[in-house]
Amino acid sequence: MTRLVRLPTAGQTLAFGTRLGARLVAGDVLCLTGPLGAGKTTLTRGIGAALGVADVASPTFVIARRHPGSPALLHVDAYRVGSELEFDDLGLETDDCVTVIEWGGDFAEMLSDSWLELRLERADDEVRTLTLVGRGPDWPAARLDAIVGDR
């Protein structure tokens, strides 16, 4: 269940995040990976916009920030989290919100048996390739096709 999306500009990354966010429901967990500057926070801003959240910023120093929305957005930056124990100590509640974890590749399965993995890579200064991988029963191929097909 892998889908690829080419995002030539930061604006298209933001717009794709908005389309993705419009299809998310409370309990959805998304795990964003990619190098610094790949567009993880830009994508999250788009998701937040679809949920009615205006001020999404990377929570690097606070690690997790909950934004009221419909549903709420829990934005986690796990870059500085060193272990599963540290992540578990955050006590994150995800049932009533959409959860986006940046740098969370090692931690998503601690929150849910289903999550959407989003890998961002940059080919040059602007062009991004987004790989979507559905993990678990909440992310069947049809759901991924609907998200990618909205383009």
Q: Percentage of the chain surpassing pLDDT 90?
A: 48
Query: In the chain, what are the domain boundaries?
Result: 2-137
**Looking at residues 112-126, what average pLDDT do you find?**
87
The CA distance from 37 to 29, in Å, is 22
**Looking at residues 18-46, what average pLDDT do you find?**
92
Structure-model confidence comparison of residues 11 and 82, the more confident one: 11
What pLDDT is attached to residue 93?
86
**Looking at residues 122-139, what average pLDDT do you find?**
88
Mean pLDDT of the chain: 88
Q: Specify the CATH number for 2-137; select among 3.30.1380.20, 3.40.50.300, 3.20.20.110, 3.40.50.1820.
A: 3.40.50.300
Measured N-to-C along each axis, helices 10-21 and 40-51 cross at an angle, to the nearest 10 degrees, of 40
What pLDDT is attached to residue 23?
94
**Looking at residues 79-91, what average pLDDT do you find?**
83
Would you say residue 150 has pLDDT above 70? no
Which of 129, 82, 88 is CA-nearest to residue 109?
A: 88
Which of 99, 42, 38 is CA-nearest to residue 66?
A: 99
**Looking at residues 102-127, what average pLDDT do you find?**
86
Q: Which helix (H) or strand (E) holds 42?
A: helix 40-51
What pLDDT is attached to residue 59?
63
